[in-house]
């Protein structure tokens, strides 16, 4: 199964809808390239929608998330995760990235969180 990333906008927030399996060999660069393209275009508010990600390994898949997060933060942006499935949540928990990423279950909550000054309640 191919891994894909489709980009859409909601106001000044870019949402990357990810689909498929993110493992070594199947998804090399998909997330990182999508985020890099957004950053080059001046986007600084990015949500990665993981609702249709069926699997993400702790090496390649998580590596893509970390690289994208780092690139975004280095340019003064914010990157958040939306609707990770149970398998993806488990991988994030195992590697303790659930403490690094802001994770949301609702798209509207994730979008609104960019306009909040204080640490948002996740939901």
- pLDDT tens for 15-35 read 999 999 998 877 779 999 999
| For residue 56, pLDDT beyond 60 | yes
Is 109 strand, coil or helix?
helix
List of domains in the chain: 4-113 (3.30.750.24)
| For residue 96, pLDDT beyond 90 | yes
| For residue 100, pLDDT beyond 60 | yes
Alpha-carbon dihedral angle through residues 107, 10, 66, 6, given to the nearest 10 degrees: 100
Q: Do 102 and 113 contact (CB within 8 A), yes or no?
A: yes
| For residue 117, pLDDT beyond 70 | no
Q: Determine the pLDDT at residue 120.
A: 43
Q: Determine the pLDDT at residue 27.
A: 73
């Amino acid at each position: 199964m191919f891994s894909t990333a489709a980009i859409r906008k909601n106001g000044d927030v870019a949402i990357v809808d990810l689909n498929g399996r993110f493992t070594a060999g199947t998804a090399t660069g998909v997330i990182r390239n999508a985020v890099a393209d957004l950053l080059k275009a001046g986007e600084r508010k990015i949500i990665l929608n993981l609702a249709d990600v069926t699997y993400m390994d702790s090496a390649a898949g998580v590596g893509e998330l970390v690289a994208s997060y780092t690139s975004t933060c280095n340019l003064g942006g914010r990157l958040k995760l939306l609707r990770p499935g149970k398998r993806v949540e488990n991988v994030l928990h195992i590697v303790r990235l659930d403490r690094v990423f802001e994770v949301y279950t609702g798209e509207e909550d994730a979008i609104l969180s960019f306009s909040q000054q204080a640490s948002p309640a996740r939901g």
